[in-house]
Amino acid sequence: MTLRVAIIGCGWVAGSQMSFGFDHLKDRYSVAIACDSDVGKARAFADTHGIAGIATDYDAVLADPDIEVVSICTPPSLHHPMVMAALRAGKHVICEKPFTSSLRLTDEIIAEEAKGRARVMPIFQYRFAPGIQRIRQILETGIAGACYIASVETAWKRGAEYYAVPWRGKFATEMGGVLLTQAIHIHDLLLYLRGPAAEVKAFKTTRVNQIEVEDCAVAAVRMEDGSLASLTATLGSQRPVTRIRLCYENLTIERQCFDAEAPKPGEEPWIIVPKNDEIAARIAAIPITPLEHTSFAYQFAAFHDALRDGGEMPVSLADARRSMELVTALYHASETGETVSLPIGADHERYGGWITPNSYSRYSTAASQMRAANGL
C-alpha cells in the first residue's frame, strides 16, 4: 500500500525527512502536501521536493480524506495540539522530537491513541544506523556480561546564527536547550542500549549564548540495572564531538565522531575491545543483519510495515515517554539539587512540565519578570 502524506512545517527537519526518508520509499509513501503557515515557505519546499500540493491551514489538511499520515516538523511547542488534532481526525502521525513539553501531555497522547485506530510514531532516527544496530545485536546476545559504567558526551557548537531563528533559545517555543534539543538523541541512544534510568543528579547552566535555555549541562545517572552513567552536554565546543563509551564485564564499546560526523554517532566505526580471544571469537561469530535502509528511511519503512501488519512501532510512545521522563528528571535535579527517582508519575511536581521560574537563565528578560511576579 502507498500512504499519502502531508508534511507539516517546511523547515530543515522536514527537508531531512524528505532527503533521507520519504525520497527513498516512493513505493510506500506519496508526499502529497507541504503545509506551512508561511505560504512562500510551503511553495519553495514543494518546488524543491516535487510535492504537488501546498497548504497553510493545518485543519484543512486534516479534513482532506486523501491524507492518511501527517508528519509534524513544527517547533516543539506545537507538537502536542497538532498530534491530538490529527488523532481525532483519524490520521496516523509521525512526530519529531522533543515529543511534547511534559509527561502529562505525553500521557494525554498515549490515552488518545488508545481510543482509535490511528497510530503515532515519535522520531528517533539516530537509532537506525549500521553501527548502533550492530552494537545492539551484540548486546542482545548477553556476551557483554554486566555493565559497569557508561559515559556520554554531546559537545557541539551553536552560536548567534543558530539562535537568530526566532523560536529558538526560548522556553515558550523551543522548551529547552542542549538537554532537550541536541543531546536528546544521544541520551536516547544510551537508553536504547542500556535500558531505563533509575536515579538522576544534574547541573545545568547558560554560559555560551545569551539565551533563556541551558547550553551546558552535566549529570550522573544510576541505571535500572545498577550500572552508572555520566552525561555531559555543551554547545560551546570549538570542535564538535560526540563520544559514547560503555564498559562491560567482558568488553568495552566506544564510538567517537568529530566535526560533520558529530551528529552521526550511530554510524560506524564503533570500536569493541574484548576481554580475551574467546570473547572476540564469540563476537565475530554473531551474524549481523544488514540494513536495507538507514536513518529516517529505516524508521519510515518500519512505520509503514507496522501500519500494514498491525505490528510494533520502531519507536514507540513508551520510548518517547522515557525520553521525556529523563528530561524532566534532569531539569528537576539541576534546579533543586535533589536526586530524582524514576519512573516519574502523575504525583510528581514536574509531571505537568519541567519549565519553572528557576529554569530561566540569567540572560532572560522573562526570567526577571517571572521572578518578580512570583516574589522571588
pLDDT at 74 over 50: yes
pLDDT at 375 over 80: no
For residue range 197-208, what is the model confidence (pLDDT) as tens digits? Answer: 999 999 999 999
pLDDT at 232 over 50: yes
pLDDT at 371 over 50: no
Please provide the distance, in angstroms rounded to a whole number, between the alpha carbons at the two ends of the chain: 58
Q: Is the pTM of this model over 0.85?
A: yes
For residue range 137-176, what is the model confidence (pLDDT) as tens digits? Answer: 999 999 999 999 999 999 999 999 999 999 999 999 999 9
pLDDT band at residue 356, thresholds of 50, 70 and 90?
A: confident
pLDDT, the chain, mean:
95
Fold exhibited by the domain 3-126+295-315: Rossmann fold (3.40.50)
- Alpha carbons within 13 angstroms on the beta-carbon side of residue 53 total 18
Confidence at residue 362, expressed as pLDDT on a 0 to 100 scale: 72
pLDDT band at residue 357, thresholds of 50, 70 and 90?
A: confident
> For residues 251 and 279, is the Cβ–Cβ distance under 8 A?
yes
pLDDT band at residue 372, thresholds of 50, 70 and 90?
A: very low
Confidence at residue 365, expressed as pLDDT on a 0 to 100 scale: 52
Confidence at residue 366, expressed as pLDDT on a 0 to 100 scale: 45
Confidence at residue 376, expressed as pLDDT on a 0 to 100 scale: 38
Report the C-alpha gap between 372 and 376 in whole angstroms.
6
Report the C-alpha gap between 40 and 56 in whole angstroms.
10
Ordered by start, the domain boundaries in the chain are 3-126+295-315
Report the C-alpha gap between 144 and 142 in whole angstroms.
5
